Chain A
Amino acid sequence: VIGRDLLGIEDLDRADIERILDTAEHMREVGRRVVKKVPTLRGRTIVNLFFESSTRTKASFEIAGKRLSADVINFSPSSSSLNKSESILDTARTLDAMDPDAVVVRHAVAGVPRQIANVLDAPVINAGDGAHEHPTQALLDLLTVRLEKGRVDGLTVAIIGDILHSRVARSNIYAFGKMGADVRIAAPPPMIPAAVETLGVKAFTNVREAIEGADVVMALRIQNERLSGTYFPSVREYSSTFGIDREKLKFAKEDAIVMHPGPVNRGVELSHDLTDHRPSVILDQVRNGVAIRMAILYLLAGRPQDGEPKLAVESGAES
């Protein structure tokens, strides 16, 4: 059974993950209707507490909440509490006093959702914390792969790019590993975290070796303006050595799919062609993101009182 909060994939087991994915498959149907709304979370309040700017994830959570009829408010304090009179925990306590039913937290520093969950009564959903975790991204990636491949167990997944600074990488390493996939990573050596094998992955510096025989190739976004020249020599060299194009993709399985958490630096992590066309599934990932976030909000904010959520959504979805 899923806990009170969703702070990271690390805390989930395989049964939790399957339950979330199954629930999300129901939620996908709501998005295909003309009237994209079910009454499941009517009267519930969801706060999007985004300390770090985000367009895509915030929009996805907002749409997810609204499709479930929740009242969603967006709260975006300045990114560093050093600029304010109030600490992050004071901000959280203030919000908590307004009795939200769930608080979705995004912050540039790892651990903030955990720190906030420690002082909040409401469930906390991690929408990305520094280089720690981005659990809803990993769940939507799992859902996308499951829909494409019919399974996750036994697949080979190659994650390419800035593992060191990536919360998407950590959550996906846990998520695919827990679901029985073989996870590999490849990156310029300065972007491979210390002792990364302790996360349960095999690390490569040669991107072709990492991709060899993969069912899924996932490219990560490179913060080229900040890291170029320190973690890798230049964008040009990065794109020629680690950028995924159809040439490199030949080493993967014939039916391999290509994923990216977005937004893509076109021509850097992915060739233009792969960004827009199969086998990349980038927009499916985005679409599935709404379903996953609906499932999470339903499972965590939809509880009557410390109990299991009512199953109104399934009946609503079928009516």
Chain B
Amino acid sequence: VSEGRICIRGARILDPAADRDESGDVLIEGGVIAAVGAALDASGAEVIEANGAWIAPGFVDLHTHLREPGQEYKEDIASGGRSAVAGGFSAVACMANTQPVNDDPAMTDFIIDRAKQDSPARVYPIAAATRGLEGVVMTEMSTLVEAGAVAFSDDGKTIMDGGVMRRVLEYSRLVTAPVITHAEDRYLVANGVVNEGPVSTKLGLPGNPAAAEDILVARDLTLAELTGAHLHVAHVSTRGAVEAIRQARDRGVQVTAEVTPHHLTLTDEAVLGYDTNTKVAPPLRSAADVLACREGLVDGTIDAIATDHAPHAVHEKDLEFTEAPPGMIGFETAFPVVLDLVRNGELSPLELMRRLSTNPARILKRPGGSLEVGAPADIAILDPDTSWVYDPAKGYSKSRNSPWAGQTLTGRAIATIVGGRLVYDVERGVIYP
């Protein structure tokens, strides 16, 4: 089926953009949503029976690592894109820490071209904020935005020089693209690999204090206020950061924020067995921090859920805990993991979908996150009740570094449509390309 007529029948339609949560059908034609309503005329259309499954705008992931170019043994744009749609994501933004770094319009062009050929999901490149992620010379933001960059970030190589960060934020106003901060003070993190507290003490591994994040979030919020730029805080993980963002929003600072599925559901106690798949930056935090992140997501302090999908090869994770690289894959587990907030009564299904699609699309100023007539037909079809055993080896990522490997998860993306084309179906797998 290529950009044909598709009718999804008998679904629970969840459209955060229209505050709609009702039963009905969705008709797709010419790559866009043609109609939404009850008992639509499906003549000539391929019919997908939803049998009460949820239909939502395709998820938009603000924070991913696709590893191409340079580290294709971990992931590439094709495998990352396939893994994304298998998790219900129709669009993903990819960080600039490739080899070479995406700090040049030619590299942004390359990623976009490669994604058009290889990836079933839309791919939005995030360009480096400074050349080579070195925190010294700012990148050509205007040219990069023309090439298709959607945001600027040095991600894990946090810009430690406050003067550089200030000027990056100031200059970003020219292009009205957010600057994304991975806010951890490198000196306070030092060699820390696990949240500092009872768990780091028990494990005997170097601790990374919550203060390292609290302090850099506070600095960057202050600089956002000073410059009037749009600051986006990546993977918020501490109670202090949530509170600082809440206060900054209240006084009108232009700040948005994301939280990962793992920081919403796992505490540092997950690290107690020394499983390097639980090593991530920032680290898994205390139960109080997890609770604060959940509250922040519920009350709107944190806008979006982003996976920070960070593939690493098995042989890299088979190292000593201090040596293994931080990060976990996340596309295919994100929906069932965050569904915990619905099961726990903290978010309605509609509000969860808003944080997975509508809000991240708005932050990136890209289409998506809407099922209104005329919107691109980017759709996730979701079964919130099905239980399945997650085996990363059977997933689409090239890597397997997941803390949920082998676990029974409830909820799954059962089909994904991008631009009106069915690209994934749980029975057939990834269909296109």
A43-B397 Cα distance, complex, nearest whole Å: 47
Interface string of B188-227 (1 = CB under 8 A from A): 0000000011101111110101000000000000000000
Find out whether the CB atom of A81 lies under 8 angstroms from the CB atom of B319.
yes
Interface hits, A51-97 → B, CB 8 Å: 80-82, 87-90
Interface hits, A2-45 → B, CB 8 Å: 10
Give the Cβ gap from B280 to chain A, nearest Cβ, in Å.
16
Q: Which residues of A contact B205 (CB under 8 A)?
A: 110-111, 130-132
Find out whether the CB atom of A194 lies under 8 angstroms from the CB atom of B320.
no
Contact partner, B322, options A109, A194, A195, Cβ 8 Å: A109
* B134 interface hit (Cβ, 8 Å): no
A111-B204 Cα distance, complex, nearest whole Å: 8
Max chain A Cβ within 10 angstroms of own Cβ: one of B198, B201, B315, B322:
B201
Interface hits, A158-216 → B, CB 8 Å: 167, 170, 193-196, 198-199
Q: Which residues of A contact B322 (CB under 8 A)?
A: 109, 130
Give the Cβ gap from A303 to chain B, nearest Cβ, in Å.
25
Contact partner, B274, options A10, A111, A198, Cβ 8 Å: A111
Q: Which residues of B contact A132 (CB under 8 A)?
A: 203-205
* B323 interface hit (Cβ, 8 Å): yes
* A221 interface hit (Cβ, 8 Å): no
* A112 interface hit (Cβ, 8 Å): yes
* B146 interface hit (Cβ, 8 Å): no
Give the Cβ gap from B3 to chain A, nearest Cβ, in Å.
47
- Known contacts A87-B315, A194-B196, A194-B197; A81 and B204 CB within 8 A of each other: no
A70-B203 Cα distance, complex, nearest whole Å: 32
Closest to B276 in A: A115
A221-B244 Cα distance, complex, nearest whole Å: 41
* A133 interface hit (Cβ, 8 Å): yes
Closest to A108 in B: B320
* B321 interface hit (Cβ, 8 Å): yes
- Known contacts A130-B205, A131-B205, A194-B207; A110 and B321 CB within 8 A of each other: yes
A31-B198 Cα distance, complex, nearest whole Å: 41
A310-B264 Cα distance, complex, nearest whole Å: 51
- The A-B contact count (CB < 8 A) is 73
* B273 interface hit (Cβ, 8 Å): yes
Find out whether the CB atom of B202 lies under 8 angstroms from the CB atom of A111.
no
Q: Which residues of B contact A90 (CB under 8 A)?
A: 315, 318
Find out whether the CB atom of A194 lies under 8 angstroms from the CB atom of B319.
no
- Known contacts A114-B273, A194-B197; A88 and B204 CB within 8 A of each other: no
A129-B44 Cα distance, complex, nearest whole Å: 67
- Known contacts A110-B274, A111-B205, A114-B274; A88 and B200 CB within 8 A of each other: no
A271-B425 Cα distance, complex, nearest whole Å: 73
Max chain B Cβ within 10 angstroms of own Cβ: one of A10, A87, A112, A114:
A87
- Known contacts A193-B201, A196-B201; A80 and B196 CB within 8 A of each other: no
* A107 interface hit (Cβ, 8 Å): yes
Find out whether the CB atom of B315 lies under 8 angstroms from the CB atom of A130.
no
A80-B322 Cα distance, complex, nearest whole Å: 11
Find out whether the CB atom of B204 lies under 8 angstroms from the CB atom of A131.
yes
A12-B198 Cα distance, complex, nearest whole Å: 20
Max chain B Cβ within 10 angstroms of own Cβ: one of A110, A132, A170, A194:
A110
Closest to B271 in A: A111
Q: Which residues of A contact B319 (CB under 8 A)?
A: 81-82, 87-88
A44-B40 Cα distance, complex, nearest whole Å: 76
A111-B318 Cα distance, complex, nearest whole Å: 12
Max chain B Cβ within 10 angstroms of own Cβ: one of A81, A111, A114, A115:
A111
Q: Which residues of A contact B315 (CB under 8 A)?
A: 87, 90
Q: Which residues of B contact A10 (CB under 8 A)?
A: 202
- Known contacts A114-B273, A195-B198; A107 and B320 CB within 8 A of each other: yes
Give the Cβ gap from A96 to chain B, nearest Cβ, in Å.
14
Interface string of A227-254 (1 = CB under 8 A from B): 0000000000000000000000000000
Interface string of B312-338 (1 = CB under 8 A from A): 000100111111000000000000000
Q: Which residues of B contact A170 (CB under 8 A)?
A: 202, 204
Interface string of A116-158 (1 = CB under 8 A from B): 0000000000000111110000000000000000000000000
Find out whether the CB atom of A111 lies under 8 angstroms from the CB atom of B200.
no
Closest to A164 in B: B201
Contact partner, A133, options B204, B273, B276, Cβ 8 Å: B204
A133-B196 Cα distance, complex, nearest whole Å: 18
Interface hits, B281-323 → A, CB 8 Å: 315, 318-323
Find out whether the CB atom of B274 lies under 8 angstroms from the CB atom of A88.
no
Give the Cβ gap from B93 to chain A, nearest Cβ, in Å.
31
A88-B320, A131-B204 are known contacts; what are 17 more A-B pairs with Cβ within 8 Å? Answer: A81-B323, A87-B318, A89-B318, A90-B315, A90-B318, A111-B321, A112-B321, A115-B321, A129-B204, A130-B205, A130-B322, A131-B205, A170-B204, A193-B200, A194-B201, A194-B207, A198-B198
13 CB contacts below 8 A, A to B, read A80-B323, A87-B315, A109-B321, A110-B204, A110-B274, A110-B321, A111-B205, A112-B321, A170-B204, A193-B201, A194-B201, A196-B201, A198-B202
Residues of B within 8 A of A (CB): 196-198, 200-205, 207, 209, 273-274, 276, 315, 318-323
7 pairs of A and B residues whose beta carbons are closest in the complex: A111-B274, A132-B204, A131-B204, A109-B320, A110-B204, A193-B201, A198-B198
Residues of A within 8 A of B (CB): 10, 80-82, 87-90, 107, 109-112, 114-115, 129-133, 167, 170, 193-196, 198-199
